[in-house]
Structures are given as C-alpha cells and as structure tokens.
A and B are shown apart, each in its own frame.
Chain A
Amino acid sequence: MEKTKKEEMEKKEREPVTRRKSAISYKTREKVVVRGYDMSELAEAGYTFEDGIFVLLQGRIPTENEMKMLRYEMAEFIEHSMSPSAAAGITTMGGRPLLPAAIAAAIMCFGAAHGPGAAHGYMCDEFFERAVKENKRDIKELAKTLVDEYLREKKPIQGLGQPQHIYGDPRVYPTFRRSQMLETAGIYNQFQLEILNELNRRRMKQGKSFVHPNMIGAGNSSLMDLGFSPLGSFIIGSVSRGYSCAAHAIEQLKRGHAWMASRREKMVQLLDLSMIEYEGPADREVPPIRERDKYAQDQKEKGEWKKWSL
C-alpha cells in the first residue's frame, strides 16, 4: 500500500514537461539511450567523442577513417580567434549574465554569413538533385552551370572567400588533403574543387585575383561526404566553435571589467565613450509637445528622415 502511494507520487512528480515523439533518445532511471545505444555502454566500450557525434546525428557507428576525419575537422573548427561568434560571447559576458547566455549568444551568431554550413550544403544538394532530374552526371559541367548561374544572378557562391585569410584559410587545403588521404572525400569535395577551378579560370581571364575556398567550402564538403546533412554539418560547425567562444567569454569574466567601458584600463575599452562615432542627424531642439502634430507633419513632408530610416 505504502509502496504504491510512493510510486504514484513519484510518477506524478516525474511526468514529462510535455510528451513528444523522439527518434533521437529516451531515458529511464538506469540509462540514457541514443539511437538505440546506451550511451554509458558506448563510453565504457571505448568509443570516442567523434563516434558519439555520428551516433547522435546519423544513428550509426562510423568506420575508423570516418571517425578520424571528423576528429580532424572538429578539432580544427574549435578555435578561430576573433570572429563574430567570439565577439558575441565576449560582449554578452560584459553584461555579466550567466555563462549559458554568452555561449548561446555566440552560437546564435552563426547565420547566413558566419559559418553558413547549411546554406553551402543546400546549394550543393540543389545542383545534385538537378543533375539527377536532368540526367547530367558530369560534375565539372555541373560546377560550370552553378558558376554561370550564380555570377549571372550576382549571388555569392558559398564556400569561397574569407575576409581575414585573403590567401586562403590555413585550414582549408590541409582539410581537402586529409579527406583524400583518409579516403572519405567524395562528390562534395569533388564538386567544391570543380567550382573553385571554374570560378578562378574565369577570374584569371579577367585579370582578377584568385579566390580561395573558405572553411565552409572545405569543411562542409568534407562533413557532407561523411554523411552529415546540411543541418547536421551546421550543428557540428557552429556548436564546436562554442567551446572556444566560451573560453573567450570566461576570459572576459575573469580578466576583464564588466561593461567593457572602464577608464581605468591602460587600453581604451570596446565600449569606451570614445569608441562611439555618431553620424546621424545633428543635435536638434525637442519640439514642445503641444506643437507635435504641426512639427511631425512638416518633418514627414520634408522627408529628410528617410535618409536615416533603418
């Protein structure tokens, strides 16, 4: 009787927040099961962090070479010194929220311009699907079509160019090499290199500089060759960077001043008053509120506000 009451109470207390079907995982008192594997058993058996990522995102245990390729890529993804995500983590920590806020801010910083792994993946997949539909099997031809269309439509070709590493991101060519060496390079690697060749062949003819691939081009191609979806690759790229962003944020917490505006520091701080350069409308009188409607109509008609509207 007593036991039943206790069990009932526990059952009530530990009702899930909301029921949801999940193809990812479940847990009981004894274990957390991801894609059918007891994670504790996976760890005990000696599988690696990278094996765990394969299980989590693809539901399979990889070959040793696949695991090694992911290990290589994730390790090199972690740190990229000052990039938008690191800056987001650091500046968020300046307000002294809890650490997860700074980490979330850093990861949320990844989007259409910073580490757009998914966009690169979808770009490639779109052309592969077209190749199937149109019965075109030549990757070189496919790359030519892509470059033609993207240049004509003035769209940026994903995977090429990086604003800081103008002679190519130092990680890029070693990544291509490594995936070839480990024999994990496939159609995505091949397509990326054909796009690179095709674009630069045209640029050379026009006397323009060589554009190097970026880590989306090299890293994302290699991840997709490992079987990760565009979104799966995006997760790996953006979350892996989260580790270093957290380190930068913790450095701000432990070694920097909150608010990042202290005048006591030797170096001018990011949010020092002197860092503000205002380019908006010149200082102007606040109109008396009783004259608001006349003033507002006049202002609207003159239209100068449109210059400043965002």
Chain B
Amino acid sequence: MESIRKPAEEEAIYGPGREPYAGPAETIERGEAERRVAKPVEKLVEGREPFRWRSIVSYKTVPKIVLRGYDTTRLVEEGYGVCDILFILFQSRIPSSNEEKMLNYLTILFFDDGMSLPAVISRAAADGRSIMTQAIGAGILAFGHVYGPFQDYGCMVNEYLERAERENKNLKEIAQILVKEYLGQGKAILGLYPEGVEGDPVPYRVFKKAESLGTAGKYHDFQIEIQNAVNQVRGKEGKTKLHPDMVGAAGSAMLDLGFTPEATWAIVIITRAYGCGAHVMDEMEDKSTEEPYGVRLQGPEDYDGIPDRPVPPLKDREKVAKPIVARTVDDWHRTFKELRKIKGSGWSI
C-alpha cells in the first residue's frame, strides 16, 4: 500500500512515524487485536435477552390496550376523561376529583397564547404546505429554555427544595437564598415576568384556584416565597414589583399535582399543539391578500452584515484566504476573539 507522506509539521505534532488522529499506540494495538478476533453477531449477544420494547407505561395485545395496568377501553367506558388519563399516564394513579378539576382548569389556559412563537412557526411551516403534523411539530420546537421553560422551572425549584431539606431551611429562607444567588449571578428567576412587564391577572387566578380546590402545596408556597423575596430586594432598591408569569403559577400548580418537571413540560407543550393546529388551519384557509411568510423580499435596509464585496477570482484563492486552524491555546484565543466578531457565526452565543 502506498504510504502517505506526512508534512514535517504534522510529524512534529503527532511524533515521527505516527498517523495523525489515530490515538495512543496502545489503543491502536488493542483495536487491531480486536479486529483480528472480531466476534460473529451471535457471540456479541451471547448471554443477553433479545430486544423487546420494554415499558413501564403500557402494553397491548390483540384484544386490549393496557395503560399502567388499566384497560384503556374500560377506563373510558367508566367515564374517565383526558385529564384523568394524563394522571394515569404520567403518575400511574387515578386523581381525586379536585386534582382532575385543577388539571382541567390549567389545560384550558395552555391551549393558546395568541400569536406567539409556536403559532407563528406552525403558520410559517403551513405556508410551505407541509402536512398538518409537520406544521404542528415545527411549532412545538419553539419551546426551549426561554419560551415556556416549564422543565427548567421545575428543576430550579426542585434543586432548591432538595437543598432546603439537606440544609434544614424553611421555604422563606431557601427562597431568599435562591433569589440572592440568581440575582448575584445575573440570572433570570424563572416563573416571574421580566422587569418592565406588568403582571396579568391570570397567574393570580391560578394560585386562587389551586387554593380553593385544595391542591396548592409546597410548590405553590415556595413560588409565593420567591416572589416575596425578590420583591423585598427590589423594594429596598426602589425598583418596581415583579409579577408571576404562567410558568411560575401553572408550573407550581402542576408540580403540586404531582407531575415531574418533564411531565409538566410535555403536558403544556402538547396541549398547546392543539392551538398550533388551529392556527395552521386558519393559515391554510386564509385567502386574503397576505403573502406566505418569506415571499416578501427583504432587501438591504434590514441587512447589517458585511457590505457587498467582489468575489475574488478562484486563482487568487490562496492570496485571499487565511487558514483558521489554531494549534496552541494562545492561537485559539486570538482566533476565538476574531470569530466572535462575525455575526451569525454562532461564536458569540
């Protein structure tokens, strides 16, 4: 086999006679040894059970579908509804009437949020005349660490509640610690509207509803303590009051109902997906003069990148181009700082 001649520079980095990127000599030798005695497929699986779709959630047979031990047809025949099934699905238990009522109340609030990110994205996808489920899926992908971050919120409060238990703090004390640490690090406290946004009445109604149905628990109380602690600090600084948002109000209510942060997020997102579907149909039916997203030309007036420039002749490529590879930490740091200046390169995120 023809040998590949390595440049002197590469030899200096990887050592004489070594293939670049191949790893330490002992690894190469072990890999070679394994290749020589490669086991047939039957040997690979020896002593292990064959693959099955193992699940703690459900199974089905030819005549029935069973969710957490309950025959789903028996459940619906008995009169259990969607919100009951969500408790069984995520928590493996049938909820009390009041718990079901509370979840029912919350899901109505989750259905839609006007022309917010999921609706806009679903509508944009629908303009491409993708099928309904694709457009809904696209809208779902809008949920993240900033928009509707119910999982992050749940993890945040759980982390501090666990700390409270370990460090023997009460809710008020641990809320003060959370607020101090978050403000100290300049991080946004999840569950509260940002500064400058006036509160809306809905989160307060959610708190009241949970209280009246008797489902409000430690998460509800902790959320209130967080609000009190942050507003105490802000009050001293002469700043305006921060209000709870739906992540704080509905998130704490869902956690009090026993849903994990992940299950809470899933329920919020999927319930909103029905709303995305409605927006998709509206977009598809719209025969007005509005154009599909992206059809209207966006000219240079909104462009703030590198000004127009001539394309260099291909023969001049080596004169124009500069290699970017960094071989030392200092090199990397210099390159990194340069790269951060390029808008849209992702280095500033």
Which residues does A use to contact B, with CB under 8 Å? 6, 9-10, 13, 16-18, 20-27, 29-34, 39-40, 42-44, 47-53, 56-57, 71-72, 74-76, 78-82, 87, 90, 98-101, 103-105, 107-111, 118, 164-167, 170-171, 174, 178, 229, 231-232, 234-236, 238-240, 242-244, 246-251, 253-255, 263, 265-270, 272-275
Contact = CB atoms under 8 A, between A and B. Distances in A.
Interface stretch (B14-22, B62-70, B300-308, B340-348): B62-70
A251 B63 CA distance: 25
B205 A40 contact: yes
21 contacts: A22-B279, A24-B282, A25-B114, A34-B275, A43-B109, A48-B81, A57-B278, A75-B84, A78-B67, A104-B140, A231-B281, A232-B281, A238-B132, A239-B274, A243-B85, A250-B90, A250-B262, A265-B48, A267-B51, A270-B51, A274-B41
Given A32-B202, A174-B77, 8 more contacts: A40-B205, A43-B104, A236-B274, A242-B273, A243-B86, A243-B270, A250-B260, A267-B52
B282 A101 contact: no
Interface in B94-119: 104-109, 111-117, 119
Contacts of B72: 75-76, 78-79, 171
B60 interface: yes
B37 interface: no
B137 A107 contact: yes
Contacts of B115: 16-17, 20, 22, 25-27
A265 B49 CA distance: 9
A108 B72 CA distance: 24
A56 to B, nearest CB: 5
Contacts of A52: 107-108, 111
Given A22-B282, A76-B72, A78-B89, A32 B112 contact: yes
Given A81-B55, A111-B131, A75 B81 contact: yes
A76 B89 CA distance: 12
Contacts of A101: 141
A247 B108 contact: no
Interface string B194-205: 001110111001
A31 B108 CA distance: 13
Contact of A40 (B63, B109, B143): B109
Contacts of B286: 21
Contact of A79 (B67, B83, B260): B67
Contacts of A164: 60, 62
B332 interface: no
A101 B137 CA distance: 8
B60 A40 contact: no
B45 interface: yes
Size bracket, chain B contacts? 35 or more
Contacts of B77: 174, 178
CB-based closest 3 A-B pairs: A27-B114, A235-B277, A246-B266
B6 to A, nearest CB: 19
A82 B136 contact: no
B123 A43 contact: no
Nearest to B267: A243
A233 to B, nearest CB: 10
Contacts of A100: 140-144, 265, 269
A222 to B, nearest CB: 12
B80 interface: yes
Given A21-B290, A75-B81, A251-B55, A244 B89 contact: yes
Nearest to A276: B41
Contacts of A266: 48-49
B216 to A, nearest CB: 16
Nearest to B208: A44
A25 to B, nearest CB: 5
A230 to B, nearest CB: 9
Interface of B: 41, 44-45, 48-60, 62-67, 72-73, 75-77, 80-86, 89-90, 104-109, 111-117, 119-120, 123, 131-134, 136-138, 140-144, 151, 196-198, 200-202, 205, 209, 260, 262-263, 265-267, 269-270, 273-275, 277-284, 286, 288, 290, 293
A39 B151 CA distance: 23
A100 to B, nearest CB: 5
A20 B109 contact: no
B51 A269 contact: yes
A31 B44 CA distance: 60
A162 B273 CA distance: 26
B253 to A, nearest CB: 12
Contacts of A109: 133
A104 B265 CA distance: 13
B109 A76 contact: no
Given A49-B81, A52-B107, A239-B273, A21 B60 contact: no
B266 A174 contact: no
A261 B141 CA distance: 26
A167 B62 contact: yes
Contact of B274 (A9, A53, A229, A250): A53
A222 B50 CA distance: 40
A251 B151 CA distance: 15
A248 B273 contact: no
B41 A171 contact: no
A268 B131 contact: no
A231 B132 contact: yes
A130 to B, nearest CB: 23
A244 B283 CA distance: 28
A75 B49 contact: no
A253 to B, nearest CB: 7
Given A57-B278, A81-B58, A239-B277, A32 B81 contact: no
Contacts of A13: 196
